[in-house]
A and B are shown apart, each in its own frame.
Chain A
Amino acid sequence: MSTTLTDGPAAGVVGTRMLRREDPALLSGEARFVHDLVVPGALHLVLVRSPYAHARVISVDLSAALASPGVVAAFSGAELAGEWGSPMPCAWPVTADMQSPSHLPVAVDEVCYVGDAVAAVVAASQAEAQDAAAAVAVAYEELPAAVDLEDAASDRVLAHSALTSNRAYTWELVPDAAAVERAFADAAVTVRERYVQQRLIPAAMEPRGVCVVPQPFGGEYVVYSATQIPHILRTMLGITAGVPEERIRVVAPSVGGGFGSKLDVYAEELLCLALARRLRKPVRWSEERSEAAQATIHGRGQVQEIELAADTEGRVAAVRVRLLADMGAYLQLVTPGVPLLGAFLYHGVYDVPAYAFTCTGVFTNKTPTDAYRGAGRPEATYAIERAIDALARKVGVDPQEVRRRNFIQADKFPYSSPAGLVFDSGNYEAALDAALELIGYEELREAQARRRGEGATRQLGVGISSYVEMCGLAPSRVLASLNYVAGGWEAATVRMLPTGKAQVVTGASPHGQGHVTSWSMIVADKLGVSPEDVEVLHSDTAVSPLGLDTYGSRSLSVGGTAIALAADRLIDKARLLAAHRLEVAPEDLSLSAGQFSVRGSPSSAIGLGTLAFEAFTAHDLPEGMEPNLEASATYDPTNFTFPFGTHVAVVEVDTETGKVDLVRYAAVDDCGNQINPLIVDGQVHGGIVQGVAQALFEEAVYDGEGNLLTTTFTDYLVPAASELPSFSLGRTVTPSPSNPMGVKGIGEAGTIAATPAVVNAVVDALSHLGVEEMAMPVTPERVWRSIGASASGTGGGR
């Protein structure tokens, strides 16, 4: 595969920076989020949540709540226990012996984190439901809580009284243990690092919301939910609430960001459905921000140990990784699988012969964790990219040079990785070169030397992060080998309407990614129509019954490919009809800009619009041809895709106050061919900031009793514009050979790359002062203490 440094030629609209079709409705306030839906007669659900991290529920007294004005019903967990066909679902039993404590939407006799629901109150208004919920009297017997991850792993305190160990599972990937042992025994240089991936709160700007409307006839339910996964949700609601799946229609209206936090099946979705069934009334629930901090999944939460075996030149011979992964109190939809999504990538972009990975998932009495932007891959990239910098310091080689010495070379693709993957395509050095040029690396090193020489208060640091990720989740057979219970395909239908307009039905479900724009660009070029003439139907299981939704940077490489294939099939049919009408053989026709013309006789032509009408009237079709131009495709990818790139962060660190300012940032990403570079830029920008946020600002902080201390935006520091610079973006283009459009995916790349780039930059700014360790988030206090500790020779940064 060749790599080019430009966006590539654009024939048609694909590859152009077309403005988004979604924007006018969102900009004018016309778009409707779940909270905006007007549903007459809807009852409001409010949950009573445990104030204890771990406690036995002695009694739930609902009498005062039931007497409260406007209250329609109130239930304890025990009273609702009969509503559930099965416990809350976990779709990823990563090992045969994985433990999964029973998880009901409302706990019955034991609560296992602060925020675990103990009672449900339904009233005519939100305010009345809140007042009544405050009147529910719950008696608890407090139990010891397992809060700290490493302490929980020791089983000193059990997170669930029904379990005999907090260990959920141990999962290993050790293709050749002897080779790893040998490499470490022979290594001239070893690096051993320990990193903590703090817990993060996803904090989509739109809190979650659900509204379930029982239909007056037929026993059907319409479930409106702020979800990324309407299709998976429908199936899981059917299984868990015991409602026949075909009676459930899930609609995700405008969804205000997800980042994985809306890739789940939540108690509130099940409760609204069960209560709408029980009360025969629409039931809705609106999440408050402080509730979102506790009752929506968290991300990350790992303790990582990574070791490198290398020679004196900094060439890495082996990588060995041991993880503890914080599951939280229960296994949500894909909780146990998140570390596995990183398990294959701890050698990063480097050609490392020997590899060993092991992970133990551990229960704690904290909010469940699950997929958060990047899911496993940011953690892996952080560990290897910080460790490679540590190696560079140890062998005394510039960090960019150590990377070069270890890169998987461009002529090695497709590359069989030591963890058993086949990387589709790549040219890591080209992306590194482009990033270093974009940031002006040599000049920065000179400026850094000057400041060091002057003993300046504000020191300069440059941090590099070269990454590769596996995305486009996922080949169904690979998912099967990892014990994931579903497949990874995506479905699409493309049809032409009698007036020559096109319709696309997709199983992908957007929440900010601009799918309507991108899908209409793909189809516009295929069919020779204007993108404005392509209607994209999505996120409603009645309209799009088949789909596996949006996560894991899969929408374009899997869902977009399904659309392209469906469009090709439609064209195949149209070609037969055109041949019939023009009285030529199908292979004598060429298609250009929506016109079939006879090769060598271009005046003999017929347009797809005309053919659509002919196929609709069906007055004169070839023998055996069905009416209408419509085709469907379900695409199951043959491999993951492997986007890559290099990001470079420049920080100024005030050595007196410890304050870190991110002053410049360059990102060169390679996501293969691009449908719309404008949208790619936006994904990169947003991804970078979520990565920077982990590096510098955000942490879900618990006290020793398991109380979450960061439940509002005044405690949980989602960065604002004032804390960030603008970004310099570049791109290389190395198409993926795995799918026909050569695309890879860009939704998570920024977040994967940014965190280690920033922390490496901070360490780089202070390394001449002896600072090597730096825990996240890199707060001024941590920086200040680490400078002091290094000066006094006690280490620091923890």
Chain B
Amino acid sequence: MQVTVTVNGKTESHDVEARMLLVYYLREVLGLTGTNVGCDTTSCGACTVLLNGESVKSCTMLAAQADGEEITTIEGMASSDGVLHPIQEAFREHHGLQCGFCTPGMVMAIASFLKEHPDPTEAEVREGLEGNLCRCTGYHNIVQAALAAARPGALAP
């Protein structure tokens, strides 16, 4: 079936199998391999992307369901001249990543979370990230990065 999606600001249109999951559309059809697959059960959040600005787990959505919608992946977060998004920068500043496999999903989940909670407490950040697993960092520095990105002005364009 034909699917037309705006991904990272660019319109894409492809004929895909009806059963194709959004994450495989992004990874295999569009070659956007920054979005990772870490489980089969919508548990780990490594595949988190933004659907019209809100975080979704792209392993739990068909590509067809994204027809006509706007998707942002990790590749769409830095500016076109390579300057990291403030959330990405905060991850770097606070050592919020080690192996980096969960990181794209974490960054996208935080982007969505901070839109809804611009001035969160630490407890709110921890609750907000409960759908994203990390095995390396113990979350301490991810939480610090999220709080830093929420500081006034940090997310200003």
| B43 CB–A CB distance under 8 Å | yes
A718 to B104, CA, bound (A): 19
Q: Is A585 an interface residue (CB 8 A)?
A: no
Does A688 sit within 8 A of B, measured CB to CB? Answer: yes
* Residues in B whose Cβ lies below 8 Å from that of A687: 138
- Interface Cβ pair total, 8 Å cutoff: 172
A23–B130 touching, CB < 8 Å: no
Task: Judge if B18 is at the interface, Cβ distance under 8 Å.
Answer: no
The reply to whether B101 and A33 form a contact with Cβ atoms under 8 Å apart is: yes
Nearest Cβ in chain B — how far from A751, in angstroms? Answer: 10
B138 with A727: CB separation less than 8 A: yes
Contact among B37, B102, B104, B135 for A690, CB-based, below 8 A: B135
A207 to B39, CA, bound (A): 8
A581 within 8 A of B: no
* Complex interface: chain B residues within 8 A of A722 (CB): 126-127, 129-130
Distance to closest chain A CB from B144 (angstroms)? 8
- Number of B residues with CB within 8 Å of any CB on chain A: 56
Contact in complex: A686, B98 (CB < 8 Å): yes
Which A474-527 residues have a C-beta within 8 angstroms of B? 511-514
B101 touches A24 (CB 8 A): no
Interface positions, chain A 583-605, Cβ under 8 Å from B, are none
- Do residues B40 and A28 form an inter-chain contact, with CB atoms below 8 A? no
Number of interface residues of A (CB under 8 A): 55
Q: How far is the CB of B2 from chain A (nearest CB, A)?
A: 20
Interface SS, A side: loop
Q: Is the CB of B93 within 8 A of A27?
A: no
Chain A neighbourhood of B93, CB < 8 A: 19
Most buried by B among A26, A206, A288: A26
| Residue in A28, A256, A690, A712 whose CB lies within 8 Å of B77 | A28
1/0 per residue B85-124: CB within 8 Å of A? 0001001110101111111100100000000000000100
Q: Is there contact, CB below 8 Å, between A289 and B34? A: no
Identify which of A27, A256, A511, A514 contacts B36 (C-beta below 8 A).
Answer: A256
Interface string of A248-264 (1 = CB under 8 A from B): 00000011110100000
B56 within 8 A of A: no
From B88, B101, B127, B129, give the contact of A205 (CB < 8 A). Answer: B101
Residues of chain B in range 1-58 having any CB-CB distance to chain A below 8 Å: 27, 31-41, 43-44, 46
Q: Which residues does chain A contribute within 8 Å of B103, judged by CB atoms?
A: 26-27
Assess the B107–A713 pair: CB atoms within 8 A: no
Could you tell me the distance in whole angstroms from the C-beta of A700 to the nearest C-beta in chain B? Answer: 15
Answer whether residue A36 sits at the interface, using C-beta atoms and an 8 A cutoff.
yes
User: Does A3 sit within 8 A of B, measured CB to CB?
Assistant: no
Are B41 and A27 neighbours in the complex by a CB distance under 8 Å?
A: no
Partner of A712, one of B40, B74, B137, B138: B40
Indicate if B148 sits at the interface (CB-CB under 8 A).
no
B40 to chain A, nearest CB (A): 5
CB–CB A23/B91 < 8 A: yes
CB-CB under 8 A from A723, the residues of chain B are: 130
Beta-carbon nearest neighbor of B17 in chain A: A127
- Asked if B129 contacts A721 (CB within 8 A), the reply is yes
Point out the residues of chain B lying under 8 angstroms from A514, CB to CB. Answer: 98
Closest residue of chain B to A25 (Cβ to Cβ) is B100
- Interface flag for A794 (CB, 8 Å): no
Q: Does A678 contact B (CB under 8 A)?
A: yes
Chain B residues, Cβ within 8 Å of A712: 39-41, 43
Q: Which residues on the A side are within 8 Å of B140 (C-beta)?
A: 685, 726-727
User: Which of the residues A33, A679, A713 comes within 8 Å of B41, measured between beta carbons?
Assistant: A713
Min CB distance A761 to B, Å, is: 17
Cα separation A656 to B18 with both chains bound (whole Å): 50
Q: Shortest Cβ distance from B101 into chain A, in angstroms?
A: 3
Interface residues of B in 51-71 (CB under 8 A from A): none
Residues of chain B within 8 A of A23, CB atoms compared: 91-92, 97, 100
Q: Contact: B98 with A682, CB < 8 Å?
A: yes
Nearest chain B CB to A722's CB is how many angstroms away? 4
Closest to B38 in A: A205
Q: At the interface, yes or no: A204 with Cβ under 8 Å from chain B?
A: yes
Partner of A686, one of B92, B136, B144: B136
CB neighbours of B138 from chain A (8 A): 685-690, 724, 727, 750
Closest to B107 in A: A27
Given contacts A29-B104, A36-B33, A726-B143, contact A290 B134 (CB under 8 A): no
B128 to chain A, nearest CB (A): 8
| 19 A–B contacts, CB within 8 A, in A order | A23-B100, A28-B78, A29-B73, A30-B34, A33-B101, A205-B36, A206-B36, A206-B99, A256-B99, A257-B135, A289-B38, A512-B100, A682-B95, A686-B138, A688-B138, A720-B139, A721-B139, A722-B129, A723-B130
